[in-house]
Amino acid sequence: MTSESFNASVFLTDRQVEAGRGDHVAVTGPAGTLTYAQLATRTAELATGLARLGIRPEERVLLVMSDRPETVITILAVMRMGAVAVPVSTMYNGTELGALIRDARARTVVATPEFEPVVRTALTQTPEVTTLILTGDTGEGAETREARDPGRSWTEVLASGRPAGPAYESWRDSPALWLYTSGTTGAPKAAMHRHGAIRDVYETYGRQVLGIRPDDRCLSVARLFFAYGIGNSMFFPLAAGATAVLDPARPTPAGVAALVAAERPTLFFAGPTFYAALLAAGIPDDAFASVRLGVSAGEALPAEILRRFTGRFGVEIIDGLGSTEALHIFISNAPGQVRPGTSGTVVPGYEARLLDDHGVPVEDGRPGHLLVRGDSIATGYWCRTATTRQVFQGEWLRTGDTYVREQDGSYRCLGRSNDMIKAGGIWVSPMEVEDRLLRHESVGECAVVAYIDGEGLEKPVACVVPAPGRQVDAGELIGFCRDGLASFKRPREVLVLDELPKTATGKIQRVVVRRIAADLLGQQ
């Protein structure tokens, strides 16, 4: 039995060169620029060099790398030679990183120089790793654990692959990429993705919703080691023959604004937290003049942040829902058809359904647990059989979100299923209360969580970060919510925080917020 050959790396690079776009810029930014011809050549050379190191098809290669051309080349090269690319967060400490390396059973680690100290700490816990490769042109630091060969660098591995050999004959269902989830509800776990899924997310969301074109320039706040970021900065621009703008620096509002001014992106990708940070920063109102469309994902975009951002910067934002397990966005608003406060409608190529606690479909207007199916869904979690069976239910992925489908077909997020609050026996959506709070001029950020009082009853509590130069009046905010919402939805307490705890992806860590609220209220 044979399957049609398909290699995602060839699809993203060689195809553009064959189409006559070899001179078009594929990636650019502060760390360097590559045309499609250069990207394709270096990818093929590095793939051959990695194979000559002894890396085998379907073996995991773990990457600890900032966003730069070498990172794109490495991911593409690993997939091209049939191995599995595993880009991981650069925010882990040595112990955490060591645990991921052991979990992935990786023998080879590739890193950019700024992460060498943490990688070397991790390697003290991972004797199975035989090869560490560091990027950079110094020729120092890259080594095998046993041979201690300081002359083996990323650049030298690249050179050793000349002349480059052919791409590995992978199939659509061959393993290509593992992406670790953020681990906010437990230890991080790797979602396993196929070569074909990379083309799937481009054909569904990238082409039909985003409408990406060869003349687009993409700038993403989300990094390449996130599912959201790798789509924004690799899969979509390269599949469309467009240009990705990469920046290895940690994103800040001022830094991003400067990069937008220098690189003139047309598509801008961020999450709600960063859009709120941009609004709070003193950047010019015309800072995003080159951007034709903004995209938000990671968590639901409050309607008030959307209104403020579009009103101030003149950029429409399409909010969407995706996940690491689905590889990118599967429910989204569309350009020119934004429904503020909703995640939009189902992306072509996907199906969604809402079920009650007993697995029965719910009617429009009633909350339910969201399930989705589509060709980009991961094959499961690596070595997590029980969790895989809970989350991947046949063709359907259980997202862990509670949603309502409106009469117009749009989906409105009520929050993570385990974040819903039952106040006075009635379910309350944290998202709805947060959206109301953000309409108040004194509120910069907020998170509404459940607090269990002394009688064991749940009460909504608002944890609020003041807007710059503002002070929060708890009674005023509670009254403001009572005026705009049903009374039972109002927060019973308002706690003022300096900042909200967030994950590496910028999502609010509600588990931590609940703990903070419980500690503060327990002291009263």
Confirm if 331 and 344 have CB atoms less than 8 A apart: yes
Q: What is the pLDDT of residue 319?
A: 97
Element (H, E) at 484: helix 474-484
Per-residue pLDDT in tens (0 to 9) along the chain, 524 residues: 457 899 999 999 999 999 999 999 999 999 999 999 999 999 999 999 999 999 999 999 999 999 999 999 999 999 999 999 999 999 888 988 999 999 999 999 999 999 999 999 999 999 999 999 999 854 444 444 333 333 369 999 999 999 999 999 999 999 999 999 864 345 789 999 999 999 999 999 999 999 999 999 999 999 999 999 999 999 999 999 999 999 999 999 999 999 999 999 999 999 988 998 899 898 999 999 999 999 999 888 989 889 999 999 999 999 999 999 999 999 999 999 999 999 999 999 999 999 999 999 999 999 999 999 999 999 999 999 999 999 999 999 999 899 999 999 999 988 877 788 877 667 788 888 998 999 999 999 999 998 887 766 678 999 999 999 999 999 999 999 999 888 888 999 999 999 999 877 778 888 899 999 999 998 66
**d(C-alpha 234, C-alpha 79), whole Å:** 13
Comparing C-alpha atoms, which of 469, 406, 387, 476 is closest to residue 439? 476
Q: Is 87 exposed, middle or buried (0-12, 13-18, 19+ CB in 10 A)?
A: buried
Q: What is the pLDDT of residue 186?
A: 56
**d(C-alpha 138, C-alpha 153), whole Å:** 8
Comparing C-alpha atoms, which of 113, 111, 119 is closest to residue 93? 119
Residue 473: Cβ within 10 Å count: 14
Strands 143-144 and 392-393: unpaired
Within 8 A by CB and 6+ apart from 452, the residues are 458, 459, 518
The conformational region for residue 409 under phi > 0 = left, psi -120 to 50 = alpha, else beta, is left
**d(C-alpha 370, C-alpha 354), whole Å:** 5
Within 8 A by CB and 6+ apart from 341, the residues are 302, 303, 306, 412, 435
**d(C-alpha 93, C-alpha 276), whole Å:** 28
Q: What is the pLDDT of residue 432?
A: 86
Domains (ranges, CATH) in the chain?
8-180 (3.40.50.980), 251-416 (3.40.50.12780), 420-522 (3.30.300.30)
Q: What is the pLDDT of residue 199?
A: 98
Confirm if 136 and 116 have CB atoms less than 8 A apart: no
Comparing C-alpha atoms, which of 258, 265, 256 is closest to residue 217? 265
Within 8 A by CB and 6+ apart from 386, the residues are none
Query: What pTM was computed for the model?
Result: 0.86
- What pairs with residue 381 in β-bridges? 191
SS (H, E, C) 86-136: EECCCCCCHHHHHHHHHHHCCCEEEECHHHHHHHHHHHCCCCCCCEEEECC
**d(C-alpha 143, C-alpha 492), whole Å:** 58
Residue 185: Cβ within 10 Å count: 12
Q: What is the pLDDT of residue 23?
A: 98
3-state secondary structure at position 8 = helix
Q: Is 146 exposed, middle or buried (0-12, 13-18, 19+ CB in 10 A)?
A: exposed
Confirm if 357 and 336 have CB atoms less than 8 A apart: no
Residue 89: Cβ within 10 Å count: 19
**d(C-alpha 417, C-alpha 414), whole Å:** 8
The conformational region for residue 32 under phi > 0 = left, psi -120 to 50 = alpha, else beta, is left
Q: What is the pLDDT of residue 167?
A: 97
Q: What is the pLDDT of residue 137?
A: 53
Q: Is 15 exposed, middle or buried (0-12, 13-18, 19+ CB in 10 A)?
A: middle
3-state secondary structure at position 192 = strand
